[in-house]
Amino acid sequence: MSKSASKRNSLKHGIYSKDPILPGERQRDYNALRVAIFDEWMPEGLIEEALVDDLFDLQWRKARMVRFHRNRLRAENDRVRHNQQVNENFEEMWCLHSEFSEATTSEEVEKLLSETPFGDTIRGWVPREKCEDVSQWGKLIGKRLEALEVEDEKEEHELFAAILDPPSMDLEMLRMERMDDQIDRKLKQLMQVKAYKRMMGEAGRKSRPEPRLVNLPVGVRPALIDKSLMEPATQMRGIDSVNSGAQSALAAQTDMVVDGICADEPVLVPPVTASQPAAPIENGAAASSPPAEATVPARLETDEAGSKARRNRIREKINPM
Q: What is the DSSP string of 288-305?
A: PPPPTT--HHHHHHHHHH
Comparing CA positions, the residue from 55, 60, 53 lying closest to residue 25 is 60
Cα–Cα distance, 276 to 292 (Å, whole number): 8
pLDDT of residue 222: 53
Residue pair 267/260 in contact (Cβ under 8 Å)? The answer is: no
Over the stretch 132-153, which tens digit does the pLDDT of each residue have?
888 899 999 999 999 999 988 8
The full length of the chain comes to: 321
Q: How many CB atoms lie within 10 A of CB 242?
A: 21
What is the phi/psi pair of residue 318, to 5°? -75, -45
Beta strands in the chain (DSSP E): 281-282, 285-286
So what's the pLDDT on residue 289? 47
Measure the CA–CA gap between 45 and 31, rounded to whole angstroms.
21
The three-point CA angle 115-119-125 to 5° equals 150
pLDDT tens across 257-301, in order?
333 434 444 444 444 444 444 444 444 444 444 444 444 455 555
Question: Does 251 have pLDDT greater than 80?
Answer: no
Q: What is the pLDDT of residue 153?
A: 85
- C-alpha R_g of the chain: 53
Percentage of the chain beyond pLDDT 90 is 44
Q: Containing H/E element for 23?
A: none
- How crowded is residue 182: how many other Cβ atoms within 10 Å of its Cβ? 16
Average pLDDT, the chain: 74
In DSSP terms, 285 is beta-bridged to 282
Model pTM score: 0.52
**pLDDT tens digit sequence for 173-231:** 999 999 999 999 999 999 999 999 999 887 766 666 666 655 656 665 555 444 444 44
C-alpha 99/C-alpha 195 separation (Å) is: 83
Angstrom distance (rounded) from CA 162 to CA 138: 37
- Return all residues near 30 (Cβ < 8 A) that are at least 6 apart: 20, 21, 60
Q: Are 148 and 93 in contact (CB under 8 A)?
A: yes
* Residues 153 and 87 sit within 8 Å (Cβ to Cβ): yes
